[in-house]
Structure 1
Amino acid sequence: MNNKLSIALCQMMTGPSKTENLARADKMIEQACQRDVDLIILPEVFNSPYQADLFPAYAEPYPGPTTEFLSRTAREKGVAIVGGSIIEQSAQGKLYNSSFVFDEHGNLLGRHRKIHLFDVDMPGRITFKESDTLSPGNNITLFEFHGIRIGLLICYDIRFPEVSRALALAGADLLIVPAAFNHTSGPLFWELMMRSRAVDQQLYVAAAAPATNQDALYHAWGNSLIVDPWGRIIARADDREQIVFAELDFSVNEEIRREIPLYKHRRTDLYELKSQSVGKIENIQED
């Protein structure tokens, strides 16, 4: 495994025009590539507004315009890209909140379909129901990039520690989380969730969010951040459009696991986590 990885989180603002959103993503990727980065991460639903009632209008198949843009850009820039997420339409017409990952040659490394749909009702604050239009994915996603094992989650997935633990037990060195917390959940839970997962799984967490757009109906929280395995925030944005950079040193994973050996201390005689789908790569041309 490579001991280091240079990453960039592109906290971009999104609007109603898919064409303009892709152009904005292209510009931020170009800016990020001015630094010597290995991997660029875009936010959740980066090519459209985050509104459940609009998801069908912005949905597209794989391959489609956005994934072709991501593959081409990765190849031309020579950098791996985690394409935040988009609304994917399957051959059967189902809609998924999906993240596609391309290596520096433009080859597909993996796809994650959000497995926990964001259905919440906080009276007087926010009501949102992804399940009105979306279907949940059924795989826990782990992919490898230059010897580094990376778990991929989307937003609400991070609230379920079983998923992160399953990924850690499968060898994940880093969790990547494209997410779009809002101005209600963000102040309460954003930093808490990301730091908690980093500490309880003893690995890096990189969470990429959209910038706040006051003209949108859904106000994303922004605050993209990168947390090390000790729970320290090593890079963070505010709510404006910007790029967050960090170099991850995976010897830190080894350090904390040596000094605080949680995995050796697990009482698997008393509890057990079962998952048969970690790292499963389904045929993404189907379903």
Structure 2
Amino acid sequence: YASHLFFNPKGAFDIYRKIHTAPFEKQYFKAGNKIMVFQSHGLTFGIQLCYDAHFPELALSMALKKADIIFIPHASPRGSSREKYESWIRHLTARAFDNGLYIAACNQTGDNLKGLLFPGISIFIGPDGKVIYKSVEKKEGIHIINIKKGLLNRVRSHKMRYFLPNRRSDLFKI
């Protein structure tokens, strides 16, 4: 499995296993089969790995499990930082806006010394679909963003900006 570990403040951990393996990964990894959300510091969050982010149903399923934020680490060597940003801005803003949650995504950066060069990029998107922070620099870094529950509450209490309560779940098997 391609997996991501989550350690809580007490030292216990959970494992998210990538659900959607990219076509070239199928020979190396099994697909996970459990949609999980985690709790920490007053937030509920989901984790998606790389290719997972291209499937809107996964974000919707996490939102229906009350996720406030989805973290999406990537290890994608294709394209430049700018090209990757242009790709992410198309679908990740929609994931945030449609589901009324934050999205935090980043890509590995630098040369892996095995012939692959990874373009560094990170992006943080609000539940209103607006980009709060982005970095398309080809360098390592740590970005600290304050998650504002007030913005989540404003979006989720607005009848025309929070769509999940109006979903026709009787027509969709998600």
Q: Structure 2 length as normaliser, TM-score? A: 0.87
CA RMSD of superposed structures (Å): 1.9
Partner of 1:174: 69
Deviation beyond 6 Å, 4+ runs, structure 1: none
2:166: which partner in 1? Answer: 265
**Count of residue pairs brought into register by the alignment:** 168
**Structure 2 contact 85–121 (Cα < 8 Å) conserved:** no
CA contact (8 A) 1:177 1:207 kept: yes
In 2, Cα distance between equivalents of 1:150 and 1:257: 16
Q: What's the offset of the Cα at 1:257? A: 2.1
Is 1:240 equivalent to 2:139 in the alignment? yes
Seen in structure 2, the aligned counterparts of structure 1 residues 102 and 214 have a Cα distance that, compared at 3 Å, is closer
Is structure 2 residue 102 aligned with structure 1 residue 197?
A: no
Does the CA contact (< 8 Å) of 2:98 and 2:162 recur in 1?
A: no
Q: Distance in 2 between matches of 1:217 and 1:190?
A: 24
Matched, 1:114 2:14: no
Aligned-partner Cα distance in 2 for 1:136–1:116: 6
Corresponding residue number in structure 2 for 1:91: none
Q: Is the 8 A contact 1:149 1:171 kept in 2?
A: yes
Partner Cα distance (2:109, 2:56) in 1 = 26
Unaligned residue ranges in structure 2 (runs of 5+)? none
* TM-aligned CA deviation for residue 188 of structure 1: 4.8
Unaligned runs of 5+ in 1: 1-95, 120-128, 274-287
Structure showing greater relative contact order (alpha-carbon pairs closer than 8 Å, 6 or more residues apart): 1
Call closer, same or farther: CA 1:191–1:219 in 2, change over 3 Å: farther
Report the Cα distance in structure 1 between the residues aligned to 2:9 and 2:25, rounded to whole angstroms. 32
Superimposed CA distance per residue, residues 159-197 of structure 1 (whole angstroms, 9 cap, x where no aligned partner): 111111011011111101111233337255223232121
| 1:97 maps onto 2:8 in alignment | no
Secondary structure of 2:165's counterpart equals helix
Provide the identity percentage.
29
